[in-house]
Amino acid sequence: MVYEYIIANYYDHTFAIFYVLNLILLIIAYKLGFARELPLLKSVFVYILLAIGTVIVALFAGIAKLPTVESLLIVNLVLGIYRLRLHNERKSKTS
């Protein structure tokens, strides 16, 4: 669905759009599911590796036509619901 829309309207910038969308969604997924407080240098290193790895994910989205954007949206939704329930559970235990 996202692939067809981007190809139909922004054909010249397909890879850049997929890269930015995937990078944003991967950063959100990392922060929701896996991030801990890290020192600044380690955090910068993690984000640089995440940006490099996003190239591979964007290639899967653009060339192989895999639904990476849609999958990352679902992952972020599930992780967001999990974090919200975890927060509410911890809040109810303290009160």
- Predicted confidence (pLDDT) per residue in 31-56, tens digit: 999 878 899 999 999 999 999 999 99
What pLDDT was estimated at residue 71? Answer: 93
What pLDDT was estimated at residue 44? Answer: 94
- Residue keyed to tokens 């899967």: 60
* Type of residue found at 74: I
Please give the C-alpha separations between residue 23 and each of 51, 72, 81, in angstroms, as whole numbers: 6, 10, 21
* Type of residue found at 43: S
What is the percent of the chain where pLDDT is above 70? 100
Domain range holding 6?
A: 2-94
Residue 2 scores a pLDDT above 80 = no
69 contact partners, CB below 8 Å, separation of at least 6: 2, 3, 18, 21, 22, 25, 61
What is the percent of the chain where pLDDT is above 90? 57
22 contact partners, CB below 8 Å, separation of at least 6: 54, 57, 58, 61, 68, 69, 72
Residues 20-36 have pLDDT tens digits of 999 999 999 999 998 78
Q: Total structural domains in the chain?
A: 1
Residue 7 scores a pLDDT above 80 = no
pTM over 0.95: no
